[in-house]
Amino acid sequence: MITAVVNAISVAFGSIVGIIIRKGLPANIRTILFFAVGLSTIGLSITMIIKVDNFLIVLGAMAIGGIVGEILDIEKLLKKIGDQIKEGDFSTGFVVSSLLFLVGPMTIIGSITAGLTGDGSIIYMKSLLDGISSIVLSSMYGFGVMLSAFSVLIIQGAIVLFSSKLSFLTTPEYLNNLIATGGIMVLGIGFKILEIKDTRVGNFLPALAIAPLLTFIVSFF
């Protein structure tokens, strides 16, 4: 669990730094940062999506996950929390940072490796990268990014603890479909950051659990 704790601390610390410096950022600098993050987010989503093993699984996961998310209205819950905090775009900050910090090969492979072998080197490298990213993100979105530290702690910690049961996620078909599903959601975040379209990405979060399930079902055919 020490790897998950270190990663969560790096995100929280980076977020604090970003929140502090955001007060002194001129409006034009903040705007150009939004463009930089938005365009980079779209670029990242493309690299994630092209790794897909079966796009029909991704489509099914997004459709089912979106329906579940709409019923639960996850986005509304996140916005309600943000309204109480009244600091930055809470829901966007929380969703974008949670996805960027948790949906990727370094998270899954690194956490499972740490759990099975005790080697946390991949997660420690990821912690450094996440800490730097959280400075930029929190300088724009505020406390939503900081709260994603709890997502990192809970989800990465769970993967480490149950690593012996989750090692199947490192096989290409499971990993690639999961990353591609996350990539579609990251693309939606890019659209939202650039104010092209508000895609309510938070309501698609259940798709991340559904993608591996659909991959498992399809493997029987």
- List the one residue out of 185, 130, 159, 135 whose CA is nearest residue 20: 135
Taking residues 86-100, report their average pLDDT. Answer: 79
For residue 186, give Cα distances in angstroms to 23, 29, 37, 87, 179: 27, 23, 11, 22, 10
The alpha carbons of the chain give a radius of gyration, in whole angstroms, of 17
pTM of the model: 0.80
- Is residue 199 very low, low, confident or very high in pLDDT (cuts 50, 70, 90)? confident
The answer to whether the CB of 4 falls within 8 A of the CB of 111 is: yes
d(CA 77, CA 23): 27
d(CA 192, CA 216): 32
What pLDDT sits at residue 190?
86
Q: In 3-state terms, what secondary structure has residue 198?
A: coil
Least confident of 27-31, 124-128, 169-173: 27-31
For residue 209, give Cα distances in angstroms to 29, 85, 169, 177, 204: 37, 28, 11, 11, 10
- Is residue 33 very low, low, confident or very high in pLDDT (cuts 50, 70, 90)? confident
What pLDDT sits at residue 210?
94
Which range scores top for mean pLDDT: 74-78, 84-88, 217-221?
A: 217-221
Q: Identify the residue whose tokens are 């930089």.
A: 36
The answer to whether the CB of 58 falls within 8 A of the CB of 211 is: yes
Supply the mean pLDDT for the chain.
87
Q: How far is CA 18 from the centre of its chain?
A: 18
What b/e string do you get for 177-202 counting C-beta neighbours within 10 Å, with b at 16 or more? bbbbbbbbbbbbbbbbbeeeeebbbb
What pLDDT sits at residue 85?
63
- List the one residue out of 7, 38, 18, 11 whose CA is nearest residue 147: 11
